[in-house]
Structures are given as C-alpha cells and as structure tokens.
C-alpha cells in the first residue's frame, strides 16, 4: 500500500507553510446572484443545480475549514460581502485580489420583478462596489444589448439581426448601459458572459479534473470566447461523465466552438460598443470634468 502523505508539513517554517496555504486558495467567479437562465433541454434541472453551485461558491474556500493557520490565510485574502437588495444572495465570500465579481442580473428582470419604474440601475451600484473592492466586474450580455443564443441553437440566427442599438439608446429603461458608460472612464476591464451551462458531475470528478480549483472549491468557471483548448477540456469532462444523461448539452458545446457563434459574438460586440459609446457621448461633459478633477485617463477594453 502506497502512502503519498507528506508527514513533515508541520515541521516546515511558518512562512513556507503560509505560502503553501495561499497557493491552495482558488481564483473564483464570485456571483452576487444565481444565473437567471441556462440553455439546454432541461432548464429546471440546470437552474436547480446552478443555484446549488452558486451557494457553494459563496462560501469561504476549503482551506478555511482545515485549522487555524490556513483559516487565517483565508481571512487575510477574503471577507464577507453583503450584496444589494436586488440580488438573490444574502452574502458572499469574496477575495478582492483573486476573484472576478459577477452579476447575473438582466434588464428583463425589471419587468419580471416589477421594478420597471425604478429610477436607479442595480448595475451602477454593482460597478461601484467592484471598483471599491478593486475587483474586475462581470455582467451578462443582456445588460448591454440582447444576445439571442437560442437563435443559434434553433437555426433562426444569432444576436437579433433586427435589434437596432439606436432604439436601445433611446429606450429610457436601458439605464444599465448608461451606468456602464459612466464607469467606463475608471474601469480597466468589464467581462461579459454570453451564455451559461451547468455540468452535472460529482464533487470527486470535479476535483480530479483540476478544472475547478486546486481543491475543487471554485465551481463556477469562465471560458474566453475563442479559447478552444480550454473549452475542449470542459467538453471532454462532459462527454466522459454526463453525455448519456444530457445529450442536449453536447449541442451547446458544438455551438460554442462554431464559426456561427464567433460571428454572432462579434456582431453583438459591435452593437454593444455602439450603445455604450452613444451613452458616453451623452454624458461626455460630466466625464471630462470627472477625469480632470481626479487627474486620471479613461481606459477601454
């Protein structure tokens, strides 16, 4: 019987042990709320699983429950954050120097939750919080401009070809895009999520895959559009463990790697940029004063 345990860890210098514990901390997508929608033929099952994963990701990392030494390391790198009232979680654990702060909120929720007359955008508060924490913010594509991923799946098209960003600019309910435009001068990066999918795998499988953090405590992951190598890793994990139970999800992976998806994303990006620049032009005098007062330069990405 092989014993791969390292029995001398406690004899290492405290400084070295702390470095090892810090290396074990995950890089997470810290979600303030559960995903509003997921795309497959079993949305109820997907949504339930996504909510469970979001709640798990909102907890302190695994090393915080080992003993006092790694817990102190975890406390130095992270803390509890109380989200805004419009989100669905009471509190989440964030690591400002390691995590991306993500909001699944979509404009459609204004009508769903009866907040259409609310003069304030939750995105403004969210972006301010991310900036205050020093975290990179992330939002769903719908916040800025519609992205019809379902159209790619059923063959009717990608991002809505008939959607005119000029109409969205004049839509007084699109306060979210205006908020993003206002904060564009101080935010160095804004991540945008185009689609979401859940993988129904066991915790052991997730840990052994190495795709969800060193200790498996980073259950929410993002893949850059066009990163085919990383996408294939998740697709391979799905094929090996859940393909027979959820064959429809395979269509999602095939769509993600298709040229149609790439073209739809590029089209959405052009229209989204148009919308944001239109709002930036509208508030340009305020931005100029703000940038002048604080002696900083706008950064765009």
Say yes or no to pLDDT of 16 above 50. yes
Domain membership of residue 276 (yes or no) is yes
d(CA 224, CA 238): 18
The structure tokens listed for 127 are: 């972006």
Percent of the chain, pLDDT > 70? Answer: 74
pLDDT at position 90: 83
Higher pLDDT, 33 or 233: 233
For the stretch 255-285, pLDDT in tens is 999 999 999 999 999 888 888 888 887 765 5
pLDDT at position 61: 96
pLDDT at position 4: 67
d(CA 21, CA 27): 14
Question: In a 3-state reduction of DSSP, which class is residue 108?
Answer: helix
Average pLDDT of every residue of the chain: 80
Higher pLDDT, 83 or 204: 204
Say yes or no to pLDDT of 300 above 80. no
d(CA 194, CA 139): 9
Domain membership of residue 259 (yes or no) is yes
The structure tokens listed for 50 are: 């996504």
Domain membership of residue 19 (yes or no) is no
Domain membership of residue 301 (yes or no) is no
Burial of 58 (0-12, 13-18, 19+ CB in 10 A): buried
For the stretch 54-71, pLDDT in tens is 888 899 999 999 999 999
pLDDT at position 20: 94
d(CA 141, CA 276): 13
Report the candidate in 89, 280, 6, 77 with the shortest Cα–Cα distance to residue 169.
280
Domain membership of residue 274 (yes or no) is yes
For the stretch 73-97, pLDDT in tens is 999 999 999 887 767 788 999 999 9
Say yes or no to pLDDT of 108 above 90. no
How far is C-alpha 79 from the geometric centre of its chain's CA atoms?
19
Say yes or no to pLDDT of 116 above 50. no
Higher pLDDT, 121 or 231: 231
pLDDT at position 130: 92
Q: According to the per-residue pLDDT averaged within each range, which of 157-161, 200-204, 290-294 is highest?
A: 200-204
Give, in order, the Cα–Cα distances in Å from 292 to each of 89, 128, 179, 297, 298.
38, 19, 20, 9, 11
d(CA 301, CA 295): 20
116: domain range?
27-294
User: Which range, of 170-179, 235-244, 268-277, averages the lowest pLDDT?
Assistant: 170-179
**H-type alpha helices, the chain:** 14-24, 43-57, 68-77, 108-112, 122-133, 149-154, 165-170, 175-183, 203-209, 228-241, 248-256, 259-282, 284-294
Q: 86, 105 in Cβ contact below 8 A?
A: yes
Percent of the chain, pLDDT > 90? Answer: 38
Domain membership of residue 299 (yes or no) is no
Q: Provide the residue count of the chain.
A: 301
pLDDT at position 211: 95
Tell me the pairing of strands 92-94 and 100-103.
unpaired
Higher pLDDT, 253 or 178: 253
User: Which range, of 4-8, 35-39, 116-120, 181-185, averages the lowest pLDDT?
Assistant: 116-120
For the stretch 2-13, pLDDT in tens is 566 777 888 899
Total domain count for the chain?
1
For CA atoms 41, 237, 95, 98, the dihedral sign is negative
Q: 26, 93 in Cβ contact below 8 A?
A: no
d(CA 218, CA 95): 12
β-bridge mates for residue 30, sequence order? 101
Domain membership of residue 189 (yes or no) is yes
Domain membership of residue 164 (yes or no) is yes
């Amino acid at each position: 019987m092989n014993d791969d345990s390292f029995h001398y860890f406690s004899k290492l210098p405290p400084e070295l042990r702390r470095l090892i514990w810090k290396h074990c901390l995950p890089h997470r997508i810290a979600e303030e709320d559960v995903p509003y929608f997921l795309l497959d033929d079993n949305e109820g099952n997907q949504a339930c699983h996504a909510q469970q994963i979001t709640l798990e990701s909102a907890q302190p990392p695994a090393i915080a429950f080992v003993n006092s030494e790694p817990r102190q390391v975890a406390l130095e790198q992270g803390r509890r954050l109380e989200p805004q009232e419009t989100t669905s979680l009471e509190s989440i654990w964030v690591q400002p120097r390691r995590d991306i702060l993500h909001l699944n909120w979509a404009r459609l929720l204004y009508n769903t939750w009866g907040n259409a007359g609310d003069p304030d955008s939750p995105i403004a508060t969210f972006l301010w919080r991310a900036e205050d924490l020093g975290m990179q913010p992330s939002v769903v594509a719908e916040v800025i401009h519609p992205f019809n991923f379902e159209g790619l799946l059923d063959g009717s098209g990608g991002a809505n070809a008939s959607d005119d960003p000029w109409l969205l600019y004049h839509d007084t309910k699109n306060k979210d895009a205006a908020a993003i435009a206002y904060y564009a001068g101080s935010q160095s990066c804004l991540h945008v999520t185009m689609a979401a999918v859940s993988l129904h795998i066991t915790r052991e499988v997730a840990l052994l895959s190495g795709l969800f953090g060193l200790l498996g405590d980073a259950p929410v992951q993002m893949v850059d559009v066009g990163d085919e190598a990383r996408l294939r890793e998740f697709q391979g994990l799905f094929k090996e463990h859940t393909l027979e139970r959820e064959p429809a999800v395979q269509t999602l992976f095939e769509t993600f790697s298709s040229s149609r998806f790439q073209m739809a994303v590029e089209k959405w990006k052009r229209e989204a940029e148009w919308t944001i620049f239109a709002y930036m032009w509208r508030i340009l005098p305020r931005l100029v004063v703000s940038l002048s007062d604080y002696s900083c330069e706008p950064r765009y990405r």
